[in-house]
Chain A
Protein backbone atom coordinates (compact mmCIF):
# COMPACT_ATOMS: atom_id res chain seq x y z
CA UNK A 1 0.00 0.00 0.00
CA UNK A 2 2.75 2.45 0.95
CA UNK A 3 4.41 1.92 -2.45
CA UNK A 4 1.89 4.08 -4.34
CA UNK A 5 2.66 7.68 -3.39
CA UNK A 6 0.02 10.36 -3.57
CA UNK A 7 0.31 14.05 -2.82
CA UNK A 8 -0.94 16.20 -1.42
CA UNK A 9 -2.72 14.13 1.21
CA UNK A 10 -5.08 16.96 2.00
CA UNK A 11 -5.99 19.88 -0.23
CA UNK A 12 -8.40 22.77 0.34
CA UNK A 13 -9.57 24.80 -2.61
CA UNK A 14 -12.09 27.60 -3.00
CA UNK A 15 -14.87 27.21 -5.53
CA UNK A 16 -13.58 28.04 -9.00
CA UNK A 17 -9.93 27.19 -8.30
CA UNK A 18 -7.97 24.34 -9.81
CA UNK A 19 -6.90 21.19 -7.99
CA UNK A 20 -3.94 19.04 -9.06
CA UNK A 21 -3.44 15.63 -7.51
CA UNK A 22 -0.26 13.65 -8.09
CA UNK A 23 0.41 9.93 -8.07
CA UNK A 24 3.69 8.04 -8.35
CA UNK A 25 3.02 4.32 -8.94
CA UNK A 26 4.82 1.51 -7.25
CA UNK A 27 8.28 0.76 -8.62
CA UNK A 28 7.97 -1.37 -11.72
CA UNK A 29 4.29 -0.52 -12.27
CA UNK A 30 3.33 1.16 -15.52
CA UNK A 31 -0.47 1.05 -15.17
CA UNK A 32 -2.24 3.75 -13.16
CA UNK A 33 -5.89 4.04 -12.16
CA UNK A 34 -7.75 6.89 -10.48
CA UNK A 35 -10.80 6.37 -8.27
CA UNK A 36 -13.05 8.76 -6.37
CA UNK A 37 -14.77 8.08 -3.06
CA UNK A 38 -17.57 10.48 -2.26
CA UNK A 39 -18.88 10.71 1.31
CA UNK A 40 -21.12 7.74 2.14
CA UNK A 41 -20.52 6.20 -1.29
CA UNK A 42 -18.31 3.48 -2.62
CA UNK A 43 -15.18 3.89 -4.66
CA UNK A 44 -15.88 4.78 -8.29
CA UNK A 45 -13.48 4.16 -11.16
CA UNK A 46 -12.53 7.29 -13.08
CA UNK A 47 -9.67 6.64 -15.50
CA UNK A 48 -6.98 4.14 -16.47
CA UNK A 49 -3.67 5.28 -17.94
CA UNK A 50 -0.42 3.86 -19.16
CA UNK A 51 2.65 5.96 -19.85
CA UNK A 52 1.64 8.77 -22.24
CA UNK A 53 -1.72 7.14 -22.99
CA UNK A 54 -5.25 7.32 -21.62
CA UNK A 55 -6.64 3.82 -22.06
CA UNK A 56 -10.08 4.09 -20.47
CA UNK A 57 -11.71 7.28 -19.22
CA UNK A 58 -15.25 5.95 -19.07
CA UNK A 59 -15.66 7.04 -15.44
CA UNK A 60 -14.40 10.58 -15.83
CA UNK A 61 -16.87 13.46 -15.69
CA UNK A 62 -17.13 15.00 -19.14
CA UNK A 63 -16.16 18.48 -18.05
CA UNK A 64 -13.48 19.99 -15.82
CA UNK A 65 -11.65 16.72 -15.14
CA UNK A 66 -8.52 15.53 -16.96
CA UNK A 67 -5.72 13.08 -16.31
CA UNK A 68 -2.27 12.45 -17.67
CA UNK A 69 0.65 10.09 -17.13
CA UNK A 70 3.68 11.56 -18.84
CA UNK A 71 6.78 9.68 -19.92
CA UNK A 72 8.64 11.20 -16.99
CA UNK A 73 7.10 12.08 -13.66
CA UNK A 74 3.92 11.25 -11.79
CA UNK A 75 0.40 10.83 -13.03
CA UNK A 76 -1.72 13.94 -12.48
CA UNK A 77 -5.46 14.26 -11.99
CA UNK A 78 -6.54 17.82 -12.70
CA UNK A 79 -9.85 19.33 -11.69
CA UNK A 80 -10.61 22.77 -13.07
CA UNK A 81 -13.08 25.25 -11.58
CA UNK A 82 -13.82 23.06 -8.59
CA UNK A 83 -17.30 22.95 -7.07
CA UNK A 84 -18.39 21.73 -3.64
CA UNK A 85 -19.55 18.44 -5.13
CA UNK A 86 -15.93 17.66 -6.04
CA UNK A 87 -15.10 17.31 -2.33
CA UNK A 88 -14.04 13.69 -1.98
CA UNK A 89 -11.14 11.34 -1.47
CA UNK A 90 -9.25 10.61 -4.67
CA UNK A 91 -7.30 7.36 -4.77
CA UNK A 92 -4.63 6.31 -7.18
CA UNK A 93 -3.83 2.67 -7.80
CA UNK A 94 -1.16 0.93 -9.84
CA UNK A 95 -0.44 -2.50 -11.24
CA UNK A 96 2.51 -4.06 -13.06
CA UNK A 97 0.32 -5.48 -15.81
CA UNK A 98 -3.17 -4.84 -17.14
CA UNK A 99 -5.25 -6.40 -14.35
CA UNK A 100 -5.86 -9.04 -13.33
CA UNK A 101 -3.55 -11.39 -15.24
CA UNK A 102 -2.16 -12.97 -12.11
CA UNK A 103 -1.29 -9.65 -10.51
CA UNK A 104 -3.28 -7.24 -8.46
CA UNK A 105 -3.92 -3.60 -7.98
CA UNK A 106 -2.38 -1.62 -5.11
CA UNK A 107 -3.83 1.63 -3.82
CA UNK A 108 -2.24 4.75 -2.44
CA UNK A 109 -3.29 6.52 0.74
CA UNK A 110 -5.47 8.99 -1.12
CA UNK A 111 -5.77 12.73 -1.55
CA UNK A 112 -8.61 14.38 0.36
CA UNK A 113 -10.00 17.38 -1.50
CA UNK A 114 -12.19 19.86 0.32
CA UNK A 115 -13.86 22.64 -1.65
CA UNK A 116 -14.98 25.62 0.41
Chain B
Protein backbone atom coordinates (compact mmCIF):
# COMPACT_ATOMS: atom_id res chain seq x y z
CA UNK B 1 0.00 0.00 0.00
CA UNK B 2 1.37 3.38 -1.04
CA UNK B 3 1.99 5.66 1.87
CA UNK B 4 2.79 8.72 -0.23
CA UNK B 5 0.80 9.44 -3.37
CA UNK B 6 1.50 12.35 -5.66
CA UNK B 7 -0.84 13.74 -8.27
CA UNK B 8 -0.93 14.41 -11.07
CA UNK B 9 1.84 12.19 -12.42
CA UNK B 10 2.55 14.75 -15.11
CA UNK B 11 1.45 18.32 -15.68
CA UNK B 12 2.02 20.61 -18.63
CA UNK B 13 1.39 24.34 -18.12
CA UNK B 14 1.86 27.48 -20.11
CA UNK B 15 4.32 30.01 -18.75
CA UNK B 16 2.50 32.16 -16.19
CA UNK B 17 -0.28 29.61 -15.62
CA UNK B 18 -0.46 28.92 -11.87
CA UNK B 19 -1.33 25.49 -10.50
CA UNK B 20 -0.92 23.13 -7.56
CA UNK B 21 0.67 19.75 -7.04
CA UNK B 22 -0.77 17.36 -4.49
CA UNK B 23 0.89 14.97 -2.07
CA UNK B 24 -1.37 12.80 0.08
CA UNK B 25 0.05 10.60 2.80
CA UNK B 26 -1.12 7.87 5.13
CA UNK B 27 1.51 7.49 7.83
CA UNK B 28 1.37 7.46 11.58
CA UNK B 29 3.29 9.96 13.61
CA UNK B 30 4.40 12.34 10.90
CA UNK B 31 7.71 13.89 11.88
CA UNK B 32 8.19 15.94 8.74
CA UNK B 33 7.08 16.35 5.15
CA UNK B 34 9.70 17.27 2.58
CA UNK B 35 9.49 18.72 -0.91
CA UNK B 36 12.34 18.28 -3.36
CA UNK B 37 12.95 19.23 -6.96
CA UNK B 38 14.80 16.83 -9.24
CA UNK B 39 16.19 17.66 -12.67
CA UNK B 40 17.08 14.86 -15.14
CA UNK B 41 20.35 13.16 -14.22
CA UNK B 42 20.62 15.09 -10.95
CA UNK B 43 20.01 14.51 -7.29
CA UNK B 44 16.98 15.84 -5.41
CA UNK B 45 17.32 19.49 -4.47
CA UNK B 46 15.78 20.47 -1.15
CA UNK B 47 12.89 22.94 -1.25
CA UNK B 48 10.89 22.80 2.00
CA UNK B 49 10.28 20.92 5.22
CA UNK B 50 6.88 21.16 6.92
CA UNK B 51 6.30 19.79 10.40
CA UNK B 52 2.70 20.39 11.45
CA UNK B 53 -0.75 20.93 9.96
CA UNK B 54 -1.38 24.53 9.06
CA UNK B 55 2.24 25.30 8.38
CA UNK B 56 3.14 27.16 5.18
CA UNK B 57 6.49 28.02 3.59
CA UNK B 58 7.36 30.08 0.54
CA UNK B 59 10.33 30.39 -1.76
CA UNK B 60 10.18 32.55 -4.86
CA UNK B 61 7.27 31.23 -6.96
CA UNK B 62 6.68 28.18 -4.75
CA UNK B 63 4.52 27.84 -1.67
CA UNK B 64 4.06 24.64 0.32
CA UNK B 65 1.17 23.95 2.67
CA UNK B 66 0.37 21.05 4.98
CA UNK B 67 -2.81 19.53 6.38
CA UNK B 68 -3.26 16.34 8.39
CA UNK B 69 -3.68 14.28 5.24
CA UNK B 70 -1.96 16.10 2.41
CA UNK B 71 0.40 18.77 1.25
CA UNK B 72 0.16 21.10 -1.69
CA UNK B 73 2.94 22.73 -3.65
CA UNK B 74 1.53 25.86 -5.26
CA UNK B 75 3.38 27.30 -8.24
CA UNK B 76 2.55 30.90 -9.07
CA UNK B 77 3.26 32.32 -12.52
CA UNK B 78 5.73 29.56 -13.40
CA UNK B 79 8.63 30.00 -15.79
CA UNK B 80 10.22 27.39 -18.10
CA UNK B 81 13.09 26.96 -15.63
CA UNK B 82 10.59 25.59 -13.12
CA UNK B 83 10.25 22.50 -15.30
CA UNK B 84 11.38 19.49 -13.25
CA UNK B 85 10.09 16.52 -11.29
CA UNK B 86 8.80 17.54 -7.88
CA UNK B 87 9.14 14.93 -5.15
CA UNK B 88 7.27 14.69 -1.89
CA UNK B 89 8.61 12.62 1.01
CA UNK B 90 7.56 11.94 4.59
CA UNK B 91 9.47 10.98 7.69
CA UNK B 92 7.26 8.96 9.98
CA UNK B 93 7.58 8.01 13.61
CA UNK B 94 10.21 5.39 14.31
CA UNK B 95 11.77 5.59 10.86
CA UNK B 96 15.11 6.99 9.80
CA UNK B 97 14.52 6.99 6.07
CA UNK B 98 12.26 9.18 4.00
CA UNK B 99 9.33 7.58 2.18
CA UNK B 100 9.03 9.17 -1.24
CA UNK B 101 6.17 9.53 -3.66
CA UNK B 102 6.79 8.85 -7.34
CA UNK B 103 6.82 12.53 -8.18
CA UNK B 104 5.03 14.95 -10.46
CA UNK B 105 6.74 15.69 -13.77
CA UNK B 106 6.10 19.36 -14.46
CA UNK B 107 6.66 20.98 -17.85
CA UNK B 108 6.31 24.73 -18.30
CA UNK B 109 5.98 25.75 -21.93
CA UNK B 110 7.12 29.23 -23.03
Contacts and interface: CB of A to CB of B under 8 A. Distances in A.
Contacts of B91: 99-100
A92 B90 CA distance: 17
Contacts of B41: 110, 112
Contacts of B51: 100
Given A1-B43, A42-B101, A109-B42, A100 B49 contact: yes
A100 B59 CA distance: 20
Interface of A: 1, 4, 6, 33, 35, 41-46, 48, 55-56, 58-59, 91, 98-100, 104-110, 112
A59 B99 CA distance: 11
A23 to B, nearest CB: 11
Contacts of A43: 44, 87, 89, 98, 100
A92 B36 CA distance: 15
Interface of B: 4, 31-32, 34, 36, 41-46, 49, 51, 87, 89, 91, 95-103
B92 to A, nearest CB: 11
B44 A91 contact: yes
A102 to B, nearest CB: 9
Contact of B45 (A1, A6, A46): A1
16 contacts: A33-B96, A35-B98, A35-B100, A41-B102, A42-B4, A42-B100, A42-B101, A43-B89, A43-B98, A48-B96, A55-B96, A91-B43, A100-B32, A100-B91, A105-B46, A107-B36
